[in-house]
Amino acid sequence: MIRIGTRKSELALWQAKQVKTALQSQGHPAELVLIESNGDLDLTQPLYTMGIQGIFTKSLDTALLNNKIDIAVHSLKDVPTLLPEEIEIKAVLSRGNPMDVMVYNSSFKSWNTQSSIGTGSLRRKAQWLRKYPKHQVKNLRGNVQKRLEKLNHSDWSGAIFAQAGLERLNLLHNNHQVLDWMIPAPAQGIVAIACLKTNKQIGAVLEKINCKETAHCAEIERSFLNTLEGGCTAPIGAHAYFDEGTLFFKGGLFSLDGTTALVHEEQVSMDKSKDFGIKKAHEILSKGGEELMQQIKSQL
């Protein structure tokens, strides 16, 4: 019986059940083991003040290292680019929708210069303020249902969510707009499965349910993030996808207030995609990104 570690939120459970189904389709019985995370327990502090590196993954990492679970299921965008030495991301499922959406307050009529929107993400905040510099951005934390509830009990105009999360919980209704101009978080919409490097038997099982194309896109986006970030939380977006042998990539680094944006967009053939995220991050660093990262670090 494969023990699947997961957080307790409804979305985390949805993801873990997808992994369980995939494993069972390969003939491997599995069960869910529920683990509490610090990110779920503290719903008031903004994520970037809580040491965001691994805030939703530390508890599951600990359970893996203590042999309480065999695998851990994560939203890959929540997983730090540098993992504990003994742990690796061994598989990802086929990607869901990577985009962000604006969900409107039930009483929303129209935007005005004093409009407020909710988000706990520096990336979303920076890109929203770049487009709407006079708007107010309010901190919004909690699972998807709690955030929707907070939105509709607020005087805000709307709040930003990952489209995949709302779709997976059947909560994407007509009162939304897809933010196709907003660069998503690296690996947004991807379900990842981690295990111990020493557990070769589980590793071999996970390889059979791994989506290689999604894994390649995730590697490009996460290496872009890791190269830019250097251990610092920053407003960084990246999206990579393949279409008929061509890689399409868009990545950006933003100042906290959105006034500065260093964005790179390019398409190349698949055979030139090796280390692509690292190369594009170095281009941004050489064109003002290094100074911008220093500025961001001094402000956080």
Residues designated as active site: 78
Buried b (16+ CB within 10 A) or exposed e, 256-276: bebebbbebeeeeeeeebeeb
Give the whole-angstrom CA distance, residue 49 versus residue 47: 5
Structure token digits, residue 217? 């896109």
CB of 232 closer than 8 Å to CB of 297: yes
What are the percentages of helix, strand and coil residues in the chain, rounded to 5? Answer: 35, 25, 40
Distance of CA 54 to the CA centre of its chain: 12
Give the whole-angstrom CA distance, residue 24 versus residue 28: 5
The three-point CA angle 108-111-112 to 5° equals 125
DSSP letters along 164-219, please?
HHHHHTT---SSEEE-TTSPPPTTTT-EEEEEETT-HHHHHHHHTT--HHHHHHHH
DSSP letters along 264-285, please?
EEEEEEGGG-TTHHHHHHHHHI
SS3 127: helix
Give the whole-angstrom CA distance, residue 16 versus residue 139: 28
